[in-house]
Amino acid sequence: MKRILLVKTSSLGDVIHNLPVIHDILKHHPDAQFDWVVEEGFADIPKLHPNVDEVFTVAVRRWKKHVFALKTWQEIIKCKRSLSSKAYDLVLDTQGLVKSAILTSFAQGVKHGYDKNSIREPFASRFYDQTYDIPYQQHAINRVRTLAAMSLGYPIPTDAPNYGIKGNAVIEEKLATELKAPYMMALHATSKDSKLWPKEEWVKLGFELNQQHYKLVLPWASETELARAKWIAERLPNALVLPKLSIAKVATVIANAKASIGVDTGLSHLSAALSIPTVAVYTDTKPELTGVMASSEAEVINLGGKHQTPPHTEVLASIQTLLSN
């Protein structure tokens, strides 16, 4: 039996990218057991996976803001004690940052990670016992799957990723009733304004989906995102703005959608991980390296790229293609 600690702390999309390594490892080591180190705000993701036993939460983002506070150092000491309390056969840091490498160093076990030539912060490679040269010019999911394969000595996988999660959180009865009609997800919010798809395009798409008798469901996490969701919904007869939900509950809502339309955001990756047909719209990044990647059970279409704005007609055509397939 192999005990493995996965270190992938943030952000939402990156944590989702790490999920397929569990399925890959289990194919070659069926009795492997997994724990995971993750930022507190994204802990719902590894908890969705049935093969993750213990989730160690850290708060590096919060600690950095209050580095001199007594509570911060009490939490760091507690974190170190927790991570060092178990012995692992392998500790795998797929984050490749100094912060994740330091957390990796807290654990007992042989530590594996990227070498100095294939890591975002080269100093981090000094914390690993075994390092690997894995070229950057490939999708982020392929990189982490390759790192896991090289660390455990099995062939590098070439099949579609199996994320291994399902959305099964309990949804409040009132909201569940509102979601009985067929609906699609509008994953409209993202971390940078340059990644946003114009609100007007969302409205045009919403009217087209209304003609096909679909609701358009809009999640949000911040007040800015709520204001954007309300602006879109106020101009449509078929839009529903969700209440503020945990990631686990948003996953359940996504899991019951007919399809998702999303910008460059972690929720678009979550939709693909839940095997929902997904159209991802890119306006400021290259989907070849970090775009949504289809699971083995559902298709995705990535549209656009850097300095591009796909029109709603192209998005609608892509949705129809996915649903017809």
Query: Is pLDDT at 97 greater than 90 in this prediction?
Result: yes
Query: Is pLDDT at 155 greater than 90 in this prediction?
Result: yes
Q: Taking all residues of the chain, what is their mean pLDDT, rounded to a whole number?
A: 97
Query: Is pLDDT at 296 greater than 90 in this prediction?
Result: no
Contact by Cβ (8 Å): 36, 56: yes
The amino acid at 324: S
Structure pTM? 0.96
Tokens of 78: 């507690």
Per-residue model confidence as pLDDT tens digits over 256-268: 999 999 999 999 9
pLDDT at 122: 97
For the residues 145-153, what does the mean pLDDT come to? 98
Q: What percent of the chain has pLDDT over 90?
A: 97
Quickly state the pLDDT bin for 89 (edges 50, 70, 90).
very high
Burial code (b: 16+ CB inside 10 Å, e: under 16) for 288-322 equals eebbbbbbeebbbbbbbeeeeebebebbbebbeeb
Question: 38: Cβ–Cβ under 8 A, 6 or more apart, which residues?
Answer: 8, 9, 10, 15, 45, 46, 55, 56, 57, 58
pLDDT at 90: 98
pLDDT at 325: 87
Distance (Å, rounded) from C-alpha 103 to C-alpha 84?
10
Q: What is the DSSP letter of 217?
A: E
pLDDT at 308: 96
For the residues 253-279, what does the mean pLDDT come to? 98
Per-residue model confidence as pLDDT tens digits over 19-75: 999 999 999 999 999 999 999 999 999 999 999 999 999 999 999 999 999 999 999
